[in-house]
Amino acid sequence: MEPLTPQQVVRILGKVLDPGSDRSIVAAGFVSEVRTDGPNISLVLRLPNPQSPLAGVLQKQCEKILREHYPFLEKVDLQVKDGSQKSEKKETEFDAHPERIPGVRHVIPVASGKGGVGKSTVAVNLAAALMLEGHRVGVLDADICGPSVPIMLYSEEDITSTADKRIRPVNSHGLKTISIGYFADTREALLWRGPILQKVLLQFCGDVDWGELDYLIMDMPPGTGDIQLTLAQQIATDGAVVVTTPQDLALADVIRARAMFEKVKIPILGVVENMSGFACPGCGKVHSIFSSGGGRKYAERLGLPFLGAIPLEIAVRTAGDEGMPVTLSSPKSAPAQAFREIARALAARIENRASA
C-alpha cells in the first residue's frame, strides 16, 4: 500500500461542506497544516468562530469521512483554531499541493475567457491530433453543465465499471473519454451547485480507470468558476491551452483567461486562434469573417506562446455534429493539418518544459 499523502487528505476533505455556504471547507480556506505520517493524520481547521456548535459538527464530519475512506488510520489529530484574526484566505490563493492523476503523464486543460469560441471543438480535435501523432490520449469533459464531448465524440458504448468499481471510460475513435453526458440526458438542464460540480470533476479524475495515458485533454467550462478553482487546488496540470477568435473584441477574453490562470498558478502553454479565415468552397477565396491574425497578435502582446490558427470550414462543424472530429474524418483538410501542427507544437513545448 502506497503511503497516504496530504494531497489525498485534502481531496477527501473537499467533500465536506461549510454549513454556512455552498462551498467545501477546502474552498472556504478552513483546512490547513495537513500532515501525514504512515497511518496517522494531523490537520488544523481554522474557523471564523471556533466556539460555535458547528465547529464540533465539522470536526466530527472530517474525522468520519477520513476514517471511512482510510480504514487503516490509527490516529486523526484534528485541531480547531480561530481563523478570524488571520488574513482571510481568498479562493484565488492556492497553497494546496495538487495531485497527479495516476497513470496520466500530462494533463492539459483547454479553456477560454468566454463561450462561443469553439473551445470544445479545439479540445477534441487537439486530442485526436495528439493520438495521430502516436500518443495515448483521453478527453475529460469538465464542462459539467454544458457537455459537448458526447456529441463530438460519439460512441455506442455504455458506461461500465471495472471489477474494483471504478468507472471505465468510453472509447470513441481510439480516444478514452468521460462526460456527464454519457450518464445523463444532455437535453436536460443540470442545475447543480458548485460542490456537486467539484465532486463530479474529482470523480472523473480519481474514480475513472484511465489506464496509461500520455495526455489527458480537459474541455473546461468557459470563464472562471468552481471547476477552475477545484482543478487548480486538487489536480496537477502541465499548463493550459487558451482558445480565442481573431477579432479585437476577443483580446479582453484572452486577458481574462491569462489573469485567471496566473491567479491559480497554472502556466499557459499557448494560445490557439480559432475561426481564422473562411475558405469559400465556391470562389476559393479566404474571407476573414472574424478578422485574422488577432490570436497571434494578442499572444505576442501578452507574452504568451502562439500555437497556431484554425481556419473556419464547414467540414469542422459537420464532423463535430456527426460525432467524429474533422482531424479524423478529413485528415487531409486544412483544419486537420492545422490541428496536427498545433499538437506537435504543444507536445514539443511540454517536453521542453519537462527537460528544462
The tens digit of pLDDT for each residue in 338-355 reads: 999 999 999 999 988 877
Domain locations in the chain? 6-82, 104-355
Q: What string of DSSP letters covers 157-211? A: PPPEE-TTSPEEPEEETTEEEE-GGGTS-TTS-----HHHHHHHHHHHHHSB---
Domain 104-355, second-level architecture: 3-Layer(aba) Sandwich (3.40)
Sort 288 into a burial class: Cβ within 10 Å, 0-12 / 13-18 / 19+. Answer: middle
Q: Which residues pair with 35 in a beta bridge?
A: 42
- Structure confidence at residue 227 (pLDDT): 83
Of 184 and 4, which is predicted with more confidence? 4
- Structure confidence at residue 335 (pLDDT): 93
Q: Does position 84 have pLDDT exceeding 60, yes or no?
A: yes
Taking residues 131-148, report their average pLDDT: 94
Contact 12, 66 (CB under 8 A): yes
What is the distance between the alpha carbons of residues 225 and 260, in angstroms, rounded to a whole number? 10
Q: What is the pLDDT of residues 43-53, one digit of tens each?
A: 999 888 888 88
Torsion region of 174: left, alpha or beta (phi above 0 gives left; psi -120 to 50 gives alpha): left
Question: 94-130 burial, b for 16+ CB within 10 Å, e for fewer?
Answer: bebebbebeebbbbbbbbbbbeebbbbbbbbbbbbbb
Taking residues 247-276, report their average pLDDT: 83
Round the average pLDDT of the chain to a whole number and report it: 85
Contact 135, 272 (CB under 8 A): no
User: What percent of the chain is modeled with pLDDT above 70?
Assistant: 85
- Structure confidence at residue 17 (pLDDT): 86
Least confident of 58-62, 145-149, 150-154, 287-291: 287-291
Contact 66, 72 (CB under 8 A): no
Q: Which residues contact 108 (CB under 8 A, 6 or more apart)?
A: 215, 216, 217, 218, 237, 238, 239, 240, 241, 269, 346, 350
Helix (H, G, I), strand (E, B) or coil at 235: strand
Of 127 and 83, which is predicted with more confidence? 127
Q: Does position 265 have pLDDT exceeding 70, yes or no?
A: yes
**∠ CA 227-231-234, rounded to 5°:** 130
- Structure confidence at residue 289 (pLDDT): 62
Of 75 and 94, which is predicted with more confidence? 75
Q: Does position 306 have pLDDT exceeding 90, yes or no?
A: yes
How large is the angle between the packed helices 251-263 and 294-301, nearest 10 degrees?
Answer: 40
User: For the domain with range 6-82, which CATH number is right: 3.30.1540.20, 3.40.980.10, 3.30.300.90, 3.30.300.130?
Assistant: 3.30.300.130
Most confident option among 177-191, 276-290, 339-353: 339-353
Residue 104, H or E segment: strand 104-111
Per the listing, cell 474525522 goes with 63
- Structure confidence at residue 94 (pLDDT): 45
- Structure confidence at residue 41 (pLDDT): 93
Taking residues 207-231, report their average pLDDT: 88
Q: What is the CA radius of gyration of the chain?
A: 22
What is the distance between the alpha carbons of residues 301 and 295, in angstroms, rounded to a whole number? 10
Same fold, 6-82 and 104-355: no
What is the distance between the alpha carbons of residues 173 and 169, in angstroms, rounded to a whole number? 13
User: What percent of the chain is modeled with pLDDT above 90?
Assistant: 42
